[in-house]
Structure formats: structure tokens, C-alpha cells
Structure 1
Amino acid sequence: MIKNIKSLLLIAVLLSTTVFFAQGKATIVVAANLKTAMDSIAKVYKQKNPADNIQITYGASGKFYEQIANGAPFDVFFSADMAFPVKLKETHFGISTVKLYAIGRLAIWSKKLDPNSQKMNSLLDPKVKKISIANPTTAPYGAKAVESMKRTKIYKSVKSNLVYGENIAQAAQFVAFGAAEIGIIALSDALSPAMKKERGKYYMIPQEYHAPLEQGCVVLKHGKGNPAASRFYDYISSDKAVAILDYYGYSQKKK
């Protein structure tokens, strides 16, 4: 009798799992710098795969890494760097190849002044009291912002003026809504419709001022055997997805 009950329970679990995957549900966590581009990619993907239920959450890559390493039930991780997905692969939380899907860029953005006139030295302008960047501890874009300031030897002069967003999207919000006079944000945010409405100006920080912002993705252990997770992971390399990434300032090769 007990054996029969166990068999029935096993069948029920298998059937529920089959139904879950048949519905095409996948939980995707994505670095905040990608929000505008990924929203567009997800919309196009949905047109091609209408049965898939893709649930996307945006945030800081470092925080997602910690959550995944502690067993969070995410299926695919799109990081703002390669290091976090590689670590997850090494510790068996990642099950696919760690794929380089984009190389990001940084930009200095402001509504108060034109950063193209003084470039990196815009951060030293007397009118600037607060400089918005992402938290360099948890956000790769914040770490590269600090690196670029150190490379140009202005970090010590501006360190006391820095205000930190939890992620790069929040850093962009700080400067867009006046909590800071200037900020170092993702180029993709500077090119987004929301930031364009704010009528600010931006200067693209040269890539040689920091290590490349190579962004990687990986299918996670929780996504094993989930076709929707695999489909979305593969779709980021499609011509349409690459075209959207390119539109928002990302590239797939070092320049």
C-alpha cells in the first residue's frame, strides 16, 4: 500500500513538472544596465515564442550572484560581467557554457553641464557637488566607473562627492531626477527613451580607461531541463537580439 502511494506521488510530481515546462515558464535575472535593451528583446522574443512565460527581474549582478549561490530558484542569469557567471559555473550552480553576449560602455551624463567640453574633468567642475555611480562592490559598472576615475587620476579629488545607486539603473535615476549634478552611467541608459526625455548630455568614456565591460550569461542549475530557459539563453545570440543590443550601444567584440 505504502509503495503504491509513493508511486502515485512520484507520478504526480512528474506530471506537474511536465505541465510546468510545457507552459514555458522561465525566471530570468538580468543586470540593471540591460533593462531598456532586454525589455525590447523580451518583447520580440514573445512574438516568436508566444507560449513562453518569461519573467525578468533586474538588479545588481553581485546581489544576484549571492542569491543564486544561496539557492535562489532562478533559471538564467545575465550578468554585467563574466566573473560572476564563471564562478557559478565553477561551483556547479551554472550548467551551460558561460557565453559572452555583450560588451558595455560607460558614459558621463548630466543636465547641469555638457560633459563633452571637459570630458572626465567634468567631474571636477565646481558646480558638481554630487556624482552618481553604481555601488562598486556589487555592480560591475560601478567598479569600472571607479577604475576609469583612478586611471585619469581624479578619483581622490571626487571621492567625497560620490553617491551610490544600488545598481547602475538607480545611479541613472539619481542624476536624471536631480539627486546628483552628474553621473557615470551605462551608455545604454544614456541612449534610452527615458533619459532622452530628460534632455541631458553625455560623454562616452573611452574603453581604454577601464577593463572591458564583458557581460556573460549562463543557464543555472534550477533551469536544467527547462526548454524556455534554454530558448531565451540561445535567443540572446540571435540576429534580432544582437541588433537591439547594438542599438543601445553594446557590441559583441572588443574594439
Structure 2
Amino acid sequence: MSLLKYLARATLLLTLLLSSGPLLAQSLRIAAASDLRFALDEIVALWQQQQPDTQVQVIYGSSGKLTTQIINGAPFDLLFAADIAFAEQLHERGLTSSEPQVHALGRIVLWSNTLDAGQLSLAQLSDPAIRRIAIAQPAHAPYGLRAQQALQAAGVWEAVEPKLVFAENIAHAAQMAQSGAAQVGIIAMSLAMAPGLAEHPYLLIDDALHSPLLQGYVITRRAADKPQAQAFVAFIESPEVHAIMRRYGFLLPGEQP
């Protein structure tokens, strides 16, 4: 290869590397609890209207599994968990570049595609006519754990446990109830108020029956030098985002149920 061709190729490679830097810097990869699917999709769309140069990818799942992925090196810039305890777990391990912050309070509801869930109670779930009840897996999904707590507090856990079908996350539990794979689901209020489910009534479960669903976010150590991550979490506290969160049934810090 001639010296001129070598220098031309080297110059082209250097140009590509330099030009790709800003593009890589202007991207965000977010791990988010499934209860945020509809609300966060709207929030990201609004963000990208204001920040068109920043590409945002959101991966939804159970808070526990997403946290484990980050611990194992998954390249996420932010974690939005349904239980702030998972964000705190990352912080305690030194895997964050910010303090965990509570941004909302989630609620759980009874929902059904075939029954009038608004007229049901937790006690009625023991009725033999109700054969399958969907909840998220309590071992790694905060909404599943709160469903278990509520059923135990209502004194019906032993009666309904044989009927339970466990979903990977709360969106999967909602899908099971919507498809008929389960007659009833204990799901996130934010999903019960989303398109495709909102036309059916739901029963809001008394929050005294379970520990609070404190939604929390944190910036990971990977995003320590990403100003876009800081800008996004600042955007989360904006009035526009608060309006979206309220529309999906979330309470904001300091608001009473």
C-alpha cells in the first residue's frame, strides 16, 4: 500500500472515530420497571421532542432482574425501579453516580377482562368460580410482592395460593389477565389506566394492606460523565412529566392516597 493511500485511510478512520464520539455520547439506555411502560413511553417521546439529538432506548422488566443485570455489567445509564430499594442496592454496591431518588408512588388494583373487578374484593378471590389469578413473581417484582402482602393481610393467601399464576413482571401479569389466561389480575394501577385496559373497571386495593411502592431512580456509574443522564432526571421532575405520571394513577412524593 502506498504512503498516500495509507495516510488517506488513516485520516478517514480518524474522522469516523471523532465523528462517532458525540453520537455515542448523545444516547441514553434506561432500565425501567414494567409498571412505567406507558407513562415512560410518553415521557421519552416528550423528551425527544425537546432533545432530538439524544437517542433514548428503554428496556422494561422486573426491577429485581434489571438490577441483577446492572450488577452483572449490563450497560444501562439509568434505573427506574418500582421499589427504590433496588436503586439503593446499586448505590450500596458503588454502582451509581447519583443518590437514589423517589419520584412517585405506585398503587395496585384488581383487574379483569371478563368480570366486573370494580365490584370484587380480595375476599371474593377465594370463590371457587375464580380459578386463576395472575400476579407478578414476588421474588423479583415489587408489584408481585405487594400483591402477596395484600392477600396475606386480607387473610386469603392460603385460599388463593393454589390459583396463582406467576408472571415475569407486572406487565406480563396484566397481559395474562387481558388475554384470559387468568380471570383476574392484581396489577399496577398505571397499567389498568392504559389503552386497552382502561375500558374495564378496577378495584383499588387499600394501600394499608401492603408496604409502599416507592418508585425510585438512580444514575448508574456508567453514566457518570453523561450530561444527558443528569438532564433526563431533571426533566423527570418537571410539571409536564408530573402531569403524565398523575394521569396514569401515580402519586407524587408528598401526595396522599
What amino acid maps onto 1:200 in structure 2? H
Distance (Å, rounded) in 1 between the aligned partners of 2:17 and 2:230 = 20
- Residues 103 and 214, structure 1, Cα contact 8 Å, conserved in 2: yes
Do structure 1's residue 167 and structure 2's residue 172 form an aligned pair? Answer: no
Q: Which amino acid aligns with 1:51?
A: D
Q: Aligned residue for 2:129? A: 127
Q: How far has the Cα of 1:82 moved from its partner? A: 0.9
1:86-114 CA-to-partner distances (Å, cap 9, x unmatched) read 01111111111211011000000012322
What is the one-letter code of the residue matched to 2:22? V
Residue 48 of structure 1 aligns with which residue? Answer: 50
Larger Rg, first or second structure (1 or 2): 2
Q: Is residue 120–residue 203 contact of structure 2 (8 Å, CA) maintained in 1?
A: no
Question: Please, what is the CA RMSD of the aligned residues?
Answer: 1.9
Alignment correspondent of 1:5: none
| Partners of 1:113 and 1:19 in 2: CA distance | 53
Q: Give 3-state SS (helix, strand or coil) of 1:169's partner.
A: helix
1:143 equivalent in structure 2: 145
Counterpart-to-counterpart distance in 2, 1:114 and 1:20: 50
Q: CA deviation at 1:19?
A: 2.1
**Equivalent-residue separation in structure 1 for 2:186 and 2:150 (angstroms):** 10
Corresponding letter in the other structure for 1:230: Q
Structure 1 residue aligned with 2:205: 205
> 5+ unaligned residues in a row in structure 1: which ranges?
1-10
2:100 corresponds to 1:98: yes
Mapped pair 1:230 → 2:230? yes
Counterparts in 2 of 1:188-199, with a 5 A limit? 188-196=190-198, 199=199
2:65 matched residue in structure 1: 63
Q: Measure how far apart 1:17 and its partner are.
A: 7.6
Matches within 5 A, 1:236-251: 236-251=236-251
1:178 aligns with 2:210: no
Counterpart AA for 1:209: L
For normalisation by structure 1, the TM-score amounts to: 0.90
SS of equivalent residue, structure 2 residue 88: helix
Aligned to 2:8: none
Find the residue that maps to 1:235 and give its secondary structure: helix
CA distance in 2, matches of 1:178, 1:17: 47
The residue matched to 2:58 in structure 1 has which SS?
A: strand
Letter in 2 for 1:172: A
Alpha-carbon spacing, 1:117–1:193, altered in 2? closer, same or farther (3 Å): same
Give the drift of 1:239: 0.8
Matching residue's letter, 1:135:
Q
Query: 2:127 & 2:116 partners in 1: Cα distance?
Result: 11
TM-score with structure 2 length normalisation? 0.89
Q: Which moved more, 1:200-209 or 1:240-249?
A: 200-209
Q: What percentage of aligned pairs have identical amino acids?
A: 37
Look up the equivalent residue of 1:195 and give its one-letter code. L
Amino acid aligned to 1:49? Q
Equivalent residues of 1:100, 1:217 under 8 A apart: yes
Aligned equivalent of 1:83: 85
The SS at the match of 2:83 is coil
Question: Could you tell me which residue of structure 2 aligns to residue 155 of structure 1?
Answer: 157
Following the alignment from structure 2 to structure 1, what is the Cα–Cα distance between the partners of residues 168 and 232? Answer: 26
